[in-house]
Amino acid sequence: MLRIVIADDHRLFAEGLADALNSVPDMRVVGVVGDGNELAGFLERQPADVVLLDLEMPGGGMEALRRLPAGVPALMVTMHATPEVYRDAVKRGAQGVLSKSVPLAMLAAAVRAAADGKTLPWSATELEAELAVYSSPKLDPGAAALTAREIEILELLARGISSTEELAERLYISQKTVKNHLASIFQKLSVSDRTQAAIEAIRLGIAKPK
């Protein structure tokens, strides 16, 4: 799970992006700050794996970038992505620069790459090639341990198929087998009933409600 801090004074953008990133299975936004001067202090109290910085913000995006604690990967996200901005940002320690016009999936990939310590290239073609590796979420170890059948059951569960009887019917297996799978799921997800399992499945992005 990658912990992300967003530094952007445009609250609609920041809050929206936070929601969007939280719906990506392997990411969690742990903080939003609206002022570049607050960022360094905030990161002392709240460790993060990646910081997303707006270029245009109070306190200055470039300035905030320069004052980041060493070793914290940062991505500059800006309306005005130019080669000059890229050069300056990378010189000051950023892992890359992204336009606010890129799709969410590309940002997610870039965040994974940044967390991995990669410095992203500027050119669009190289960038796409680089990010292809990071396109899919690195799921939690817990989630990864789930078997195919278990995931299938979780998907149904998250869609509201909650009774043992109906689950068994949908999967053409006995109710006993369903209960066995569920018991295994509970253990792997560290939960104690199917309600918590459904919530956890939704939270992990394994399954979506409806």
| Number of residues counted as binding DNA (CB under 7 A) | 25
- Candidates 37-45, 88-96, 144-152, 196-204: pick the segment binding its own copies (CB under 8 A): 196-204
The helix or strand, by DSSP H or E, that contains position 76, with its residue range, turns out to be strand 74-78
Q: Does 150 bind DNA (CB under 7 A)?
A: yes
Q: Does 139 bind DNA (CB under 7 A)?
A: no
Residue 22: which residues within 8 A CB-CB, separation 6 or more?
28, 29
The helix or strand, by DSSP H or E, that contains position 2, with its residue range, turns out to be strand 2-7
Tokens of 102: 């890129």
Task: Tell which positions 78-97 bind its own copies, by CB under 8 A.
Answer: 79
Q: What residue 165 binds from its own copies, DNA, none (CB within 5 to 8 A, per partner kind)? A: DNA
Q: Does 135 bind its own copies (CB under 8 A)?
A: no
Tokens of 90: 């990378």
Rounded to whole angstroms, the Cα distance separating 28 from 6 reads 11
**DSSP bridge partners of 31:** 5
Q: Does 131 bind its own copies (CB under 8 A)?
A: no
Tokens of 127: 């960038």
Rounded to whole angstroms, the Cα distance separating 196 from 201 reads 8
Contact with its own copies (CB under 8 A) among 27, 51, 74, 107 = 107
Binding residues (CB under 7 A) for DNA: these are: 145, 147-150, 162-165, 171, 173-177, 179-183, 186, 192-195
Binding residues (CB under 8 A) for its own copies: these are: 9-13, 15-21, 23, 77, 79, 98-104, 107, 157-160, 162-163, 191-196, 198-200, 202-203, 209-210
